[in-house]
Each structure stands twice: as structure tokens, then as C-alpha cells.
Chain A
Amino acid sequence: MSTILEARVLVPDVKLFRVHAPKIARKHRAGQFVIVRVSPDGERIPLTIAAADPEAGSITLVVQAVGKTTTLLNALETGDEILDLAGPLGTPSEVARFGMVVVVGGGVGTAVTYPSAVALSQAGNTVIAVIGARSRTHLLFETELAAVCDEVHPCTDDGSFGRHGFVTDALADLVATRKVDRVLAAGPIAMMAAVAETTRPYDVPTVASLNPIMVDGTGMCGGCRVSVGGVNRFACLDGPDFDAHLVDFHLLEQRNRAYAGWEAARRDELGPCAAVPVVVDGAAS
């Protein structure tokens, strides 16, 4: 059992949790995730750690209510307990002095890029964040990223804030006009695939933080296998970061829909107040 030290709604359907997990906080490195289970009949889901505070002994999770588990999780409040929390899992993001790094975040993926932005900035990189959302009210982590990045380029689908358009529009301008040395993307699959295509002509090394379906998260089941350069890799062990130019995003998209019908039925059981399915925020079509 892990106690929720702080729970607050960030934007509609998205909640931030600061959870007591001193050991995980101490070991966490950018890019790693935890496996969470919220009820005795609950499934195990992976959630990327958005921040860790070793001194306070806490980790931060940013959760969007999409399926039943995330909806149940988002119903929890400060002082409540998370039944099971295991981690940190996954291979940490590669952090080095690359030069100029653009982190691209779409929807809750924006929170995923935050610890990497912090680490990359500390490593002496110029860090530019390109973040996207449906509208101003859905934009996440803008202030947090602004505090650690050299520039933040917000984009909204409806033009209510920042650039009117997709994150890939802003990214395309950056790679065309500046010497970008590396790109890190986290968000909806369609967005990550579009980011890969945006940087491919410029040969900018591009890494995507993948989000396949997992069960144990420790390499035991192989359910999270992704095809990278034609070779199967386990996202829980070798990822979740992979070379975006080599990832088969179409396959990932298909595999992530394996239980779509089942999940919709489960979510509906929670009643009309439950979260609505999420539109792909900030993603290129």
C-alpha cells in the first residue's frame, strides 16, 4: 500500500498524484515507470514517473482517465492508498550532453517528458519543449517545463493558446531552422509516429517513449513486445525508449487496440459519469 500525499486535478480528466514511495523515489531515473494496481480484482498498468523527490520520499504520477483502472485511480484523493506500486521499471532514458534537444509532449505524454527535460538540462543541453493539447484548458506542465527548459512552444488544436496547430508543425520549423541534435517524444502513438517522420529527413536522432500494453512489467510475459528495426524488443526491459525511426508504430497501434471493445464495455460499467474516450491531443493526423 502506498499513500497518496497529494492528489489534484490538473486539467479535465487528468489528475496529478504525489505518492509516498521513498525507495522508488531514490532509485528513479528519467524515463522509468511503475506498475500500479488499484483494486483486488484490478489489472496491472504501467505509468511513467513524472517526477521523483528523494528527500520527500515521493514520486509523481500524472494520470488520464481513459480505461476502468485509470478512472478508478483518478477517483482517489489525498490520503487514500494505492494498493500495489512496483518500480522503478524500464531502462532509463539516455542522458548525455547532446547539444540542443527538443522534447515533444502530447497530452499526458507531456508529463512523461518532464523528468527527461530536467535531466537533459542538468546535463548541459539546450532543452526546448514542444507541447500540445486540444485547447488551453487541456495543456499540461507548461509552467513546470518553462522552469527547466530554455524555450517552451505550446501548441493547441483550436488555437486557444500558443501555436494553432500540431506539435509536429512547431517541430518541423525547429528542425528546419535550428541545429537540433536530438528529439525525445512522448504522447499518443500517432503523434510519436508523426514526430519520427518529421525528423527523419533531417537525420535527427529521435527517441520515442512507447506505451504498449503490459502485464507484469518485468519481462515475464512478453506482451509489451514492440518491433524495432524488425527485431522484437520488450518495452518493459529494453524500453520504454526506442529509436523512433526504427519503431513499427502501426503494429504498436494495432496491438494497443487488442482489448479495445472489452475496455469500452468495462468503462461503461462505471456509468455515465466516467471519463469519455480521449481524443488524441496535440497529435498530427
Chain B
Amino acid sequence: MSDLSRRERMKRAPVAMPERAPDVRRTDFEEVNDGYTPEMAVAEAERCLFCARPTCVTGCPVGVDILEFVRLVGAGEFLEAADVIAADNSMPAVCGRVCPQETQCEGACVLAKKGKPIHIGHLERFVADHARNLGSTVPTPAARTGKRVAVVGSGPAGIACAGDLVGAGHEVTVFEALHELGGVLAYGIPEFRLPKAIVAAEIDRLRKRGVEFETNAVIGMVDTVDDLLTVEGFDAVFLGVGAGLPRFLDIPGENLIGVYSASEFLTRVNLMRAYSGESDTPLIDVQGKSVVVFGAGNTAMDAARTAVRLGGAPVRIAYRRSPDEIPARNEEVAHAEAEGVVLTTLVAPTELTGDEDGRLTGVRLQRMRLGESDTDGRRRPEPKPGEFIDVEVDVAIIAIGNMPNPLLLRATPDLDRTERETVVADVDTGLTSKPGVFAGGDIVTGGATVIMAMGAGRRAARAIDEFLRTETARRS
């Protein structure tokens, strides 16, 4: 623990995350941020004021003991810091990279008012990477309970749930519909923001702890949830299948060649590695082509920055509200702009146009202005009559969100759901209307964040553990 005075600590400048230069990184898919050195991490941690009532902890969706882990980083006790984080967060290397810290821990930091919150995300990432590089130990397994749990989906919710369940001594099998594990961490978030090796390491760790993984298992089609509970003999099921049905704009020209959902574009590049010369999965040639991305969330930024790396020029983001309403993480917007992505705000596409072969050639954008506040508090965009811009584009990517995928839900009619087609599940336990079936993540909340999904997965794991133990008690 450093003996700096409060005043000295407050005077210190935040330690910036070292990153690769924009003109270098925009030509490849390697990670943008280099990560803190131990010295940087200690220096950043030393700025913490150690509030008596740490608002950062309250700001964390899973309640990580931030105060304690930052104190340990400041003291150079990195592995101990890793243990503190691990108590509440099963994937800190991922969360340190993709959490929207500015609206969570860092947004709640008292220093945020001065514009210099502690870079908690960067510290979390440092601690997690440090522990991983040292080859962190696999926890000793708890006594076997003989209970079996099926986890459907290997994304953030499923991984977090599986980790805690195996830790509690249950047998866990994770079912993944795709050929690769990780869910949105594999097909959605690009390599330059979240290296695949990190996801693979987390999954490998779970495997070492005894979790079984089954890929190419489309639950709902090959086995239904009922099959899992009866034929396959699982005692409980956790549904963490995410929000995997892309939303489209419903405007003319949306079926032209060159128009992609962000999910398709990113899946072709991330999961199928269409950027490498070896991949057999094609992608419309983006090199030197004009690209427009509709939407301004993290997925839109990922798509735009991916297009830049594939040689797209210009790459434009078209967003119907003003810069103040952009939902993406601040860092993603800053990185996108630094890499040359052009941000065009207060415009909404009304029509996509193409040539006689059905290939996209242009988009008509309607100029918008902000009107009255919406129910969610954001000012509603409304069209400025008669004001349009016509832009030549070769590739358009629609990144306006996802809805729950109906594949599993159709096969599980006795699962209550909302009018938005999300699954109804208890906030604290994830329990659904179907006995023995729990759910969490985007399938319950609609499109949200990795950390929210992880938190839901962990809460469900606790509830499932309790459910299995009381079941046993009742039966014996």
C-alpha cells in the first residue's frame, strides 16, 4: 500500500492505455490495446482514493470488490488481486476488455466528476492477463454431487453458469449450436478487440475443471429441452442462448447483394475468418469500396472497424440520433474515429438502390433532428421533411440490434415469454415457468452486455445449485 497523500493521489494523471498506432492497427486484426505494464498498473492503482463507501463496487453489475483488488494491484500483489476479482467475475480478461466501464464502475468512481476515473477496466484486464500468463492454477474440484446440468449456449451467460456449477460439484455439459465455442465472443466480437486466444483459454480452463462441451448441438432441433430433462437425464437446464436473430430495417433494397446484417458480416469475418486467404467462406470484396454501417452500438463500431481492416474506404457510420446518444463504449467510438471511420449522425436510411445484377450501389439517407424525449429518456429522432443525402455505397451493414432466436423457443412452447419474445425468468434466480429450467443473458434481457449476461449466468448457477440440493434433500 503506497503512502501517498490523498492530495498527491488526486494530482496524478491517469495512466493511458498503450495502444498500437491507428495507421498500423487498421491494416491488421491484431489487438488494438497493448495492456498495462506492471509499473503502469501500480501507478494507476495508486490514484485510488479508497473511498469509505466505494461507489465503483455499486456500479459493477456483478459487485466485484474493486476497492480491494485495486488496493492489491497498488501493492504489487497481482495474483491476490486476480483471486479477489475471480470471486465475482469468471471472465475478467474478457470483461476488462469489453465492459462498458464508463456507465458502470468507472462512471460511478468519485474521480469521474473530474474526468479522471480510475481505469478499473484496464486494471482488471492487466490482472487477468498477468494471472493467465503465469498459468493460473485450476481450482480443486468440490465433492461430486452426482447431479447433471445441461447448459445451452457457450456464450458469456453459459460459460459463467457452467464455471460456477462445476465448482459446486455438479456435472456440466455445455451445448453449442455452432462448430466453435464462445457464442458472441467467438462470432461477434472481433479479434482486434477480444483475441480469440483469451476466449479459448477461458474455455480450456473450464474443460480442465471437468466441463464437457458439445459443438454442433442445436438444442430445440436435435434435442429439445424436454429431451435433455428426460431422455438425456439432466437434472436441470440453463438456457443462455442469447439474442440471435438480426433485426432488419424494412426498407426497399434490403435484399440487394452487398447488404449484410452485422451478424452475418461479423460471423463471416470472425467465426469463418473470411479475412484470411485460407478461408473458404466468401465475403463481398470490401477493398477500396464504400461501406456504410447503420447503427452506433458496439456491434456497429466492430463492423465499421472490421470493414476498415478489410480495406474499405470510406467507411461510414450512419446514426439516426446525435453523437450524445451513441450507445457504444466511448473507447470504441474513439478507436473507430482514430482508424478513419466517418461518423455521420442524424441520418436514417430510407432506401437502398442497386444495379441490374441486384448489387448495392447507393443509399438514400434522410436527415433527422431530435424531437421530444422518448420513454427511455433519449430524444426521439424525427425526419426533416424533404432533406435527403444520396451516398454511393458498395457494402451496407445493418447493426440495429437483435431479437431472441425463435429456434429453441418454438420447440419449448411451455416456456413463458414476453411480448418481445424474450424468456420470462426471475431476476435473482433465472427460474423460468418451466420446472428445472433456468435462463439468463440476452435471451431474457434482449440485447445487453457480456457482463450482464455473465452476472445472470452466475445468479442462475447459485439458484440451480440450491435447486439440485433441495431436490436431493426432498427425495432422500
Contact = CB atoms under 8 A, between A and B. Distances in A.
A binds B: yes
Interface of A: 23-24, 27, 35, 37, 39, 41-44, 68-69, 83-89, 215-216, 218-223, 225, 227, 232, 237, 251, 254-255, 257-259, 262-263, 266
B221 A27 contact: yes
Contacts of A86: 177-179, 216-218, 222
B255 A222 contact: no
Given A251-B255, A258-B257, A87 B218 contact: yes
A216 B218 CA distance: 11
B410 to A, nearest CB: 9
B118 to A, nearest CB: 37
Interface string B167-191: 0000000000111000000010000
A164 to B, nearest CB: 34
B248 interface: yes
Contacts of A262: 282
A34 to B, nearest CB: 9
Given A216-B177, A221-B263, A221-B267, 14 more contacts: A23-B223, A37-B179, A41-B276, A41-B278, A43-B280, A44-B281, A84-B179, A84-B215, A84-B216, A215-B267, A216-B178, A219-B405, A237-B406, A266-B282
Nearest to B274: A43
A41 to B, nearest CB: 5
Interface in B258-300: 260-261, 263-264, 267-268, 272-273, 276, 278-282, 284
A88 B222 contact: yes
B267 to A, nearest CB: 5
Contacts of B394: none
A84 B177 CA distance: 11
B381 to A, nearest CB: 24
A27 B221 CA distance: 8
Contacts of B216: 35, 84-86
25 contacts: A24-B222, A37-B179, A41-B276, A41-B279, A44-B179, A84-B215, A86-B217, A88-B221, A88-B222, A89-B218, A215-B268, A218-B178, A218-B407, A220-B245, A220-B405, A221-B263, A221-B264, A222-B263, A223-B264, A225-B248, A251-B358, A255-B358, A259-B282, A263-B282, A266-B282
A41 B273 contact: yes
B246 interface: yes
Contacts of A43: 272, 279-282
A237 B263 CA distance: 16
A203 B366 CA distance: 43
B248 A232 contact: yes
Contacts of B215: 84
Interface string B213-255: 0011110011100000000000000000000111010000011
Contacts of A89: 218, 221
A41 B272 CA distance: 7
A220 B159 CA distance: 20
B429 to A, nearest CB: 28
Question: Which of B222, B254, B267, B273 neighbours the largest number of chain A CB atoms within 10 Å of its CB?
Answer: B222
Nearest to A227: B255
**Which DSSP category, helix, strand, loop or mixed, fits chain A's interface?**
mixed
Contacts of B178: 86, 216, 218
Nearest to B402: A220
5 nearest A-B pairs in the assembled complex, by CB-CB distance: A254-B358, A221-B264, A86-B216, A259-B282, A43-B281
Contact of B222 (A87, A225, A237): A87
Contacts of B374: none
B419 interface: no
A254 B179 contact: no
Contacts of B276: 41
Interface string B73-91: 0000000000000000000
A43 B257 CA distance: 19
A58 B452 CA distance: 41
B3 interface: no
A44 B273 CA distance: 12
A218 B244 contact: yes
A85 B221 CA distance: 13
B376 interface: no
A84 B268 CA distance: 17
A137 to B, nearest CB: 30
A89 B222 CA distance: 8
Given A27-B221, A44-B272, A86-B179, A222 B357 contact: no
Contacts of B217: 86
B272 A221 contact: no
Contacts of A232: 248, 254-255
Contacts of B405: 218-220
B358 A219 contact: no
Question: Which of A27, A215, A222 neighbours the largest number of chain B CB atoms within 10 Å of its CB?
Answer: A222
Nearest to A223: B264
Contact of A237 (B187, B260, B407): B407
Contact of A221 (B177, B246, B273): B246
Contacts of A85: 216
Contacts of A223: 260-261, 264
A222 B11 CA distance: 52
A218 B263 CA distance: 12
Contacts of A221: 246, 261, 263-264, 267
Contact of B357 (A24, A68, A254): A254
Contact of A23 (B222, B261, B273, B278): B222
B451 to A, nearest CB: 22
A142 to B, nearest CB: 31
A215 B281 CA distance: 9
Nearest to A221: B264
A39 B218 contact: no
A222 B222 contact: no
Given A222-B261, A258-B257, A42 B280 contact: yes
Contacts of A215: 264, 267-268, 272, 281
